[in-house]
Amino acid sequence: MSSITGDKLAYLTYTGLQLVKILSDNRILIYDTNHKRQEIIVITDELEEAKKYIDLGWKKKKVLSGIVLMAPENYLVDLADPFKVEKSGGIKETLCLYKVIRDLIANQRLDNFIKKVIKKSEFSNLDIKIIEGSSLETEVRIVGSDNRLENAKEEIISLIRESRPYKIEMGKINSEWPDPPRKIQISEAKISASRLSHFEKIFNFYHCIDRDFSLPVNVYGCLNDLPASDYYILVPHSGFKFLDTLERKVGMEKICFFERHYSRDGNFWLFKKNFKNKKVLIADISYSGTTLGDIAEMVSLEGGKPIKVAVWPKSRTTIANSDYILFLDKLIPANRIDINEVDWPVSLYKKLAFQDRII
């Protein structure tokens, strides 16, 4: 019997599959101890190879024994993401909401606003909780028992805006910053039909792996200051937001994708490159920085030099573990941010939103 090691062996062991023989073309003859029968499978982390087999009629196996589902979530306020800032009413309104909501949470009073909303008949039996965690410093999130959460969120925000603490805090902000805040130099737009056609091959790969997939709305005006690199790694699906801009800037031949899962659903590359002796920039919307760190480690193990860019970071941990961050519309070297400040999100937000400076 042939031998197999590493991640593929771990996969076989985890899923109760026994190796019988390694065949040609990466095929593996296994014995499924659950179904008491032999099968031939392929285990790959290269999406191009996976699609080749799917096009030949192969089916994606279920990796876990059950289906893992996640409850609906939504943000109440976010200081780092400029598009959430716009949806929250603007720069001053977002700062006011953030400070008031954080104070309400600290004083255990946010639940009072939530209870008022879910007492309404249209939200009967809706359960809403505040999500806690060290990776949520620039953002406040809530979770709900069903998809009425979106409408309930709007009601909660409306009640907070009408409250006395909000009006007092807004008065303080207007007194400190009487002039209008600067305009955020970043925008979202649908990719044109011609550009969608240009990226058709990439999106077809993602359609083929039995995942929910929607065409991206692209982000413009935020990548001009990226440090020059030999290759660029984007993390789908959020990474697709920057594909149109990045491809125009560096060309498709320098871009690849890595999908990282912490379940056993599988991790895979698309358009994998040889990273040896190359500068490799990795960009991802980042809560804890774990994905950025894991990909950077893989690049380093292959002899490359990773450059980590945390997009709209939610915690001091991801800033500490990154080389650059994109906060609002500004690309900033991570070492220029004082994450030891007690209220560093507010401090950084004010510098960028009102003073248009980093330090």
Q: Which residues contact 179 (CB under 8 A, 6 or more apart)?
A: none
Q: Specify if 251 maps to a domain.
A: yes
Higher pLDDT, 262 or 237: 237
Q: Are residues 94 and 48 in the same domain?
A: no
Q: Are residues 19 and 165 in the same domain?
A: no
pTM of the entire predicted model = 0.84
Higher pLDDT, 221 or 209: 221
Last residue of a domain, one of 176, 198, 230: 176
State yes or no: pLDDT of 343 exceeds 80.
yes
Which residues on neighbouring strands pair with residue 219, listed in sequence order? 188
pLDDT at 151: 96
Residue ranges making up the domain that contains 294: 187-353
Counted domains in the chain: 3
Last residue of a domain, one of 131, 155, 176: 176
Q: Are residues 191 and 167 in the same domain?
A: no
Q: Are residues 241 and 303 in the same domain?
A: yes
Last residue of a domain, one of 148, 176, 204: 176
Q: Are residues 212 and 105 in the same domain?
A: no
Q: Specify if 65 maps to a domain.
A: no
Q: Specify if 359 maps to a domain.
A: no
Q: Are residues 157 and 232 in the same domain?
A: no
Q: Are residues 101 and 41 in the same domain?
A: no
pLDDT at 263: 45
Q: Specify if 358 maps to a domain.
A: no
Q: Are residues 251 and 337 in the same domain?
A: yes
Q: Specify if 60 maps to a domain.
A: no
pLDDT at 7: 66
pLDDT at 163: 97
Q: Specify if 64 maps to a domain.
A: no
Q: Are residues 213 and 120 in the same domain?
A: no
Higher pLDDT, 112 or 180: 112
Q: Specify if 62 maps to a domain.
A: no
Q: Specify if 182 maps to a domain.
A: no
The pLDDT tens digits for 60-97 are 765 544 455 668 899 999 999 999 999 999 999 999 99
What CATH code is carried by the domain that includes residue 303?
3.40.50.2020
pLDDT at 212: 64
Q: Are residues 284 and 232 in the same domain?
A: yes
Q: Are residues 86 and 234 in the same domain?
A: no
State yes or no: pLDDT of 342 exceeds 60.
yes
Q: Are residues 191 and 172 in the same domain?
A: no
